[in-house]
Amino acid sequence: MSIKVRRLSYALGASVTGVDLTRPLDDATMAEVHKAWLEHLVLVFPGQDLTPEQQIAFGKRFGPLDDHKAVPFYRHPEYPEIYLITNHKIGGKSSETKDTGRLWHSDHSFTTRPTMATMLYCREIPPVGGNTMFANTYMAYDTLSDTLKGVLEKLEAVHSIAYYTAGHLQDRNPEQIAQMRKASPPVAQPVVRVHPETGRKALYVSEMMTSHFVGMTPEESRGLLQFLFGHSVRPEFTYRHAWNVNDLLMWDNRCVLHMAPADYTHEHPRHMHRLTVLGTPCGRAYEEAG
């Protein structure tokens, strides 16, 4: 099987056709897909009518999957590998994942085994909006001055689920938030991350999860972090995906930020099946000095 790859934007993103993900892919086709993924960072597979089992089987070709034990209350009731991002009511209550991902981030950067790949499968989408945006953090790093690169390569930054939940998830169940914080204490991540497969350098900070630099106070860190947050998502570094039902989209969290803008109303359904492939160890447990 020979796949067809069409670029979707200047910075990142490509559409992949000529592949049927309802069937197991042979090794040669998988090698083509993997090569395209490393080159384009975000791949879109349109028109894939997948069962949960088929999505999980494809995900496992890239590595072991997260079973979401840290956030079990948002899992698919039958498939723990699938995390539900939905505005459907759950148990008669408003879904707590309906506004997930409103800020730029890289999945699970607040752990010492951040996500390698995320695969998001569209089951329902509003007639307008419900988009997802992506940013190429290779480009973000490459376009910095050599002087600033030298400064950043010596720094670590603190990533914390507590930082995010304190400022943005006050409407969620407090017991569930406490469980999430206990399961994922703060970690120190390199500000410049070297991709384990390509060897390229990428910025590794995000407005959602990064609170401050190790060895600095939040006040001392704020100015440089705010610059990096804005620089990382300059328009020329981004791709905005307008979903169609049965799109499967996968991205590389080691060199991509993403976010879901509030560009639609919850009067219309938006229902996604997300799975995440565990990455290699990165970062270290962090404890505040003194």
Distance CA 267, CA 282 (A): 40
Among the listed residues 279, 213, 251, 5, the one whose alpha carbon sits nearest the alpha carbon of residue 104: 251
Q: Which of 107, 193, 241, 254 is catalytic?
A: 107
| Sheet bearing 256-259, strands edge to edge | 238-241, 132-136, 256-259
Distance CA 201, CA 176 (A): 35
Distance CA 187, CA 288 (A): 10
Q: Is 258 a catalytic residue?
A: yes
Q: Which of 159, 258, 271, 273 is catalytic?
A: 258
Distance CA 251, CA 240 (A): 13
* In contact, 239 and 9? CB cutoff 8 Å: yes
Q: 166 in helix, strand or coil?
A: helix
Q: Which of 40, 66, 68, 105 is catalytic?
A: 105
Q: Is 40 a catalytic residue?
A: no
Distance CA 118, CA 276 (A): 4
Q: Which of 159, 193, 241, 274 is catalytic?
A: 274
* In contact, 252 and 239? CB cutoff 8 Å: no
Which residues are known catalytic residues? 105, 107, 258, 274
